Amino acid sequence: MTRIVRYRGETFETTQDSVTEEVALEIRVNGEPFAITMRTPGDDFALVTGLLFAEEIIAGRDDVRAMGYGTEESDPDRQNFVQAVLNETANGFVRQKRNLPLSASCGVCGKASLAELCLNFVPIPPDTLTFSPTLLYGLPAKLRVAQEVFQRTGGLHAAGLFDADGTLLSLKEDVGRHNAVDKVIGEKVMEGATPLSNRLLLVSGRVSYEIVQKAVRARIPILCAVSAPSSLAVEIAASVGMTLIGFLRGDTMNVYTGAERIC
């Protein structure tokens, strides 16, 4: 809680308010520094797993031997340090290394070259999930109701995973858009539930290239957002056969790619 002065017109009062927590998380892989990301504490192992999965460092949970917080029990920052130990089957760490700290909003910071942005995008089969417009219109409300921390702070992004019936299967919140997506996908990787070829992903903000990349990596066929996509997000979604929907609000939406899945 933070002490604030709240104004209502010309009157004011001193009170307490909840603010979104933003704390640095240091990530090490096999003893080597990998990244420092700003995140909202919670679901840290899912966040790290999702990030490693999105970067093609691991292919699934079997590539992770162990994951834990800092080893010094007396260290007050112990839970802001995650160490991942990978099996020999995970051979991606040598070719994919971050060179810079990550912000909560950056999905590509630290890439060594533009070529590294082009992961192996495999087309998504066209005969996967379909949704009716009416069902889609109801998803943002389900996401908002489940955002418990957002209700208190108003300062978090959310990512939600839905099944074909529109049931919310997983909801993660974070100060960073990319972190929220990594947490949702990372949780499913840890459960051995990937690929997510029969799932829909809804994000509370805009859709950038990085969000599409993470969804493609998890084989998610439909990606929705309450805000706008970027031009590169549209281009990549079209190239892999993903359905990309923006401005999903009330009873309106813009279908940028893959309209055949809306029926």
Q: Where are the domains of the chain?
A: 23-109, 133-261
Q: Give mean pLDDT, residues 138-155.
A: 78
Query: Do residues 216 and 194 make contact, with C-beta atoms less than 8 angstroms apart?
Result: no
Residue 118's Cβ-count burial label (10 Å; 0-12, 13-18, 19+) is exposed
Query: pLDDT at position 120, please?
Result: 63
Examine the residue annotation and report whether 118 is marked as an active-site residue of this protein.
no
Q: What is 133-261's CATH superfamily?
A: Cytidine Deaminase, domain 2 (3.40.140.10)
d(CA 196, CA 79): 29
User: Catalytic: which of 106, 109, 118, 263?
Assistant: 106
Percent of the chain with pLDDT over 90: 65
Mean pLDDT of the chain: 86
Cα–Cα distances (Å) from 212 to 34, 57, 68, in that order, read: 22, 18, 28
92 neighbors 57 (Cβ within 8 angstroms): yes
- Write the pLDDT tens digit of every residue in 3-51: 878 888 889 899 987 777 889 999 999 999 999 999 999 999 999 999 9
Q: Is the pTM of this model over 0.85?
A: yes
- Residue among 262, 246, 261 at smallest CA distance from 125: 261
Q: Which residues pair with 56 in a beta bridge?
A: none
Please determine, for residue 110, whether its predicted confidence score (pLDDT) is greater than 50. no
What mean pLDDT comes out for the span 214-220?
Answer: 95
* Span 203-221, average pLDDT: 94
A 10 A CB-CB count for 8 gives 7
Per CATH, the number for 23-109 is 3.10.20.10
How would DSSP label each residue in 174-242? ESSHHHHHHHHHHHHHHTT----TT-EEEESS-B-HHHHHHHHHTT-SEEEESSPBPHHHHHHHHHHT-
Quick: pLDDT tens for 166-210: 999 999 999 999 999 999 999 999 999 999 999 999 999 899 999
